[in-house]
Chains A and B, each alone.
Chain A
Amino acid sequence: METSLYKRDLMSFFYSNSVYAVFGVYALLSMIMTFFWGMYFVDDNLAMMSFFIYQPQILAMIIPAITMRCWAEEKKSGTIENLLTFPITSWNLVFSKFLAMFTIAVMMLLFSVPLLLTTTIYVPLDWGNILSAYIGLVSVIGALTAVGCLFSALVSIPAVAYLSGLLVGVLWVNLKWGYWVTRWWKNMPFYFDGVLNFDDNYQNFCNGQFNPAGIIYFVSVAVLLLFFNWLVVASWRTK
């Protein structure tokens, strides 16, 4: 990783006022979904799960707003010419930017800490479940950040990067991929159905099951998308 680039990208997000808008919308949506859509006030056992269960939907909308500028703005302003003539390998460029965006997205989870602390006063929480859900959430953030970074590299306008990242993120989170793949590949072993679905992999974390297969699923998606991102950046160096 290129530390100086990581720090620059991390800080550039906090230099702009957009940080308040992005974090504010995330906090607001999280609270609305937890208190009004979820079972927070209905079932003590599901209190914190009401927060976790809707997070992928919210993050699919918010993370592209964090990642949209990471490459698109460099291309738009011309600083990409500086970046590509620094002694930094294409992989280091991709990974440093991804890690900076990932760090910002994970920071948003700090907004859940007051909720967690308040809830624990009134409801006995299963900390194993909570830890498992947070691990799942961090894995999801990694994969969605990789989606956003890739689309930011593919286009030159941040707003287009946001919309395309949002579209792909929302489709990935909501569609039953296993169902569609089994329709196309009739002889596919039935267990692949659940393996490919976003929801099935994430739900296991929310149900308190530490789920290595789920981690492998989300990390694999992130690595694959980062590889595509690397291909895009490497192609800029061979134009």
Chain B
Amino acid sequence: MIEVVNLSKKFGDFTALDNINFNAREGEIITLLGPNGAGKSTLMRCLCGFYLPDGGSVKINGQNVQENLSEILKTLGYMPENTPLYPEMTVFEYMRFISGVYKMRPDEFKTSLEEMVKQLDLSSVLGQKIATLSKGYKRRVGVAAVMLHKPSFLILDEPTEGLDPNQKIALRNYLKGYAKHALVLISTHLLEEAEALSSRILLLNHGRLIEDTNVQKFKQKAPDESLAELFYNLTNDDEGKNGNQSV
């Protein structure tokens, strides 16, 4: 379970996250939604301990992230935006490296790799250097790498960016299945993604959490508008005046 209490993060005078509060548990797929610069990536980085919050706390399974970082990171899989990978390695070498980092047994690695290769359709590129892969394949390799050790908490920053429609649907289906025994948190600015994938939406704007709801309730806020129009009306404000609407 993740508990986020009064989380704030500043960069100089700029407030990237402002008093964020929410809880989430295994079995949920949560989409962080918001325009560019809303604070989605910053929130994800605070959740996985990459950023130190300026205020508030993040607890995972009751443990403060910053105080028990090494232990918590064993149960967590985080894929940053743009999926940074080592281009000189082959996909298989990279997967083996990841299995070593998480101290997976050879049989665990073999089983998990076979599953990833099947689910994410990586068999044709397993022996290929990462530098030579297309953007879509790199994204899938990134997803496979963070899921290889079967984390209980999966944090993916724009995982379907660069994937073709077939790949998007395949990944969404896999994540839906995976979320039965894990918490999946993804960020996106694609509304169709939130609608297709998530059980819950967290809408961020100007570093504030302005909606914490499910897709159906979100749509009911303005039944006559499309999701895009609703998103526009909620986030396209002056100085984030909607900021405290319904936290």
Contact = CB atoms under 8 A, between A and B. Distances in A.
Nearest to A86: B101
A76 to B, nearest CB: 10
6 contacts: A4-B97, A7-B100, A8-B89, A15-B88, A15-B89, A88-B70
Contacts of B210: none
Given A8-B86, A16-B88, A85 B101 contact: no
B86 A79 contact: yes
B49 interface: yes
A85 B52 contact: no
Given A4-B97, A85-B80, 12 more contacts: A5-B101, A8-B89, A8-B97, A12-B86, A78-B80, A81-B80, A82-B84, A84-B50, A85-B50, A87-B74, A237-B50, A237-B69
Contacts, number: 62
Q: Summarize A's interface: helix, strand, loop or mixed.
A: helix
Interface of A: 2-5, 7-8, 11-12, 15-16, 77-79, 81-82, 84-89, 237-239
Contacts of B73: 85-87
Nearest to B131: A15
B225 to A, nearest CB: 37
A12 B87 CA distance: 10
Contacts of A84: 50
Contacts of B87: 77
Interface of B: 45, 48-52, 69-71, 73-74, 76, 78, 80, 82, 84-89, 93, 97, 99-102
B50 A81 contact: yes
B48 A85 contact: yes
Nearest to A238: B52
Contact of B84 (A12, A16, A79, A89): A79
Given A78-B80, A82-B80, A86-B73, A4 B86 contact: no
Contacts of A81: 45, 50, 80, 84
A239 B12 CA distance: 12
Nearest to A92: B70
Contacts of A237: 49-50, 52, 69
A4 B86 CA distance: 14
A2 B86 CA distance: 17
Contacts of B78: 85
Contacts of B82: 78
B49 to A, nearest CB: 7
Which of B78, B80, B84, B89 has the most A CB atoms < 10 Å from its CB?
A: B84
Contacts of A88: 70, 101
A87 B88 contact: no
Given A237-B52, A237-B69, A239-B51, A87 B84 contact: no
